[in-house]
Chains A and B, each alone.
Chain A
Amino acid sequence: MLCELTYRCNLQCPYCYNPLALREYRDELSTAQWSVALRDAAALGIVQAHFSGGEPTLRHDLPELVETAARAGLYTNLITQGTFLDDTMLDELIGRGLDHVQISIQAPWAETADRIAGTAVHEKKLEALRRVRERDVALTLNCVLHRQNHDTLGELIALAERFAITRLELANVQFYGWAYRNRAALMPTLEQVRRAEAIVEAARERLRGTMEIVYVLPDYFGEFPKPCMNGWGNQFLTVTPNGDVLPCPAAGAIRDLRFENLRRAPLREIWQRSEAFERYRGTAWMPEPCRSCDRREVDWGGCRCQAFLLTGDAGVTDPACSLSPHHAVVTALREAPSPAQPIPRRG
């Protein structure tokens, strides 16, 4: 379960997947409402709670929610940009049962990183990394890759080595929310993608057993689409700051889907019966070419949100699939990146 506690954030990354209409989410769930959701999630069979946002440490009740989740038996993960992670907060979170911290950086050095984040935070993030490394809690270092920082990949891996990071996630930008709006400026070039594959492969070989490198493939460059959420309504759900329950963090973009809200219905009922979860669950909804495809339970039709954003219909095969009748939309986007400047996310 991804708990998007708030969409507030002091950074302005242009690749943020948060929705453009951030104002609609200001009426955030209370501590009590989140606590009920976390306990219900554990009872439903969910095993992990990811606290994210926006920036989740802006919620003063974060330690309390971590404790509630941990006591319910959930593995707790904090997904943060790290700028507020001082000694006191970190000790409190770990004391309350936090299992894992994921800190994101924007680039290996301050000049580029601060330009991407829209504010001078790189050094603070490195301090947070050091603090987490000193403590008994699992850590992942994350960096979202896009055209503006793709060429720093080798230096990113070197930075992770300097900090003795054991799990590094290099995630190519996924085109939702602000990132979709900014995709012309963020789309990596084919040359960047090819070069990155070689660098990652060599680093994995060299660092085997000391650092796990998770490389999230770029959205528009593969032969087959990503198996989004491992199937719609299959093993993943997102709760937005105002309590909407989504099958995928980007599903808010699908305009003709109506989402149930935790203020009106309990989690179990939403998961099991709501129209938004039922519509694309399993394989019965699939059109051709998915319906008769051997990969239908491998790719699950790809991403519904991407299908909607690129074709206006969330019920078609993800155009990222080379077998999709709409695949030309993706190849056109991939091959003709325009040099537009990104528009920062605005909170």
Chain B
Amino acid sequence: MLLVPEGALVLNSVAAVALELVDGTRCLDRIVEDVVDRFDVSTERALEDVRALFERLTARGFVQC
């Protein structure tokens, strides 16, 4: 669960892992690689999902790029 001002986002397990991998140095491709290593998912699908996740999180200011 990601706690934010006056709210909470319940993340699925892939989203939670992807967000934990954000450390200010890893690029999107690296994060996707790690996600593919840990979950039974194609690179194509993981890239699409992770990108969509970060688009939503950056739009709300929870992740900065």
Contacts and interface: CB of A to CB of B under 8 A. Distances in A.
Contact of A47 (B3, B5, B58, B59): B3
Interface string A157-178: 0000000001100000000000
Nearest to A138: B5
Contact of A209 (B1, B4, B8, B59): B59
Contact of A48 (B8, B59, B61): B8
A206 interface: no
B20 interface: no
Interface in A77-123: 77, 99-100, 102
A100 B1 contact: no
Contacts, number: 27
A100 B61 CA distance: 14
A262 B8 CA distance: 26
A48 B1 CA distance: 12
B60 interface: yes
Contacts of B6: 48, 50, 77
B3 A102 contact: no
B61 to A, nearest CB: 5
Interface in A299-320: none
A128 B18 CA distance: 35
B61 A75 contact: no
A240 interface: no
A212 interface: yes
B63 to A, nearest CB: 11
B58 A100 contact: no
B61 A47 contact: no
Nearest to B61: A166
Contacts of B4: 75, 138
A242 interface: no
B58 A48 contact: no
Contacts of A75: 3-4, 8
A47 B8 contact: yes
B3 A212 contact: no
B5 A140 contact: yes
Given A47-B1, A75-B3, A167 B8 contact: no
Contacts of B3: 47-48, 75, 99
Interface of A: 47-48, 50, 75, 77, 99-100, 102, 138, 140, 166-167, 208-209, 212
Given A47-B8, A166-B61, A209-B58, 11 more contacts: A47-B3, A50-B6, A75-B3, A75-B8, A100-B5, A138-B4, A140-B5, A209-B59, A209-B61, A212-B60, A212-B61
List of 7 A-B pairs having minimum Cβ-Cβ separation, nearest first: A75-B3, A100-B5, A166-B61, A140-B5, A47-B8, A212-B61, A47-B3
26 contacts: A47-B3, A47-B8, A48-B3, A48-B6, A48-B8, A50-B6, A75-B3, A75-B4, A75-B8, A77-B5, A77-B6, A99-B3, A100-B5, A102-B5, A138-B4, A138-B5, A140-B5, A166-B61, A167-B5, A167-B61, A208-B59, A209-B58, A209-B59, A209-B61, A212-B60, A212-B61
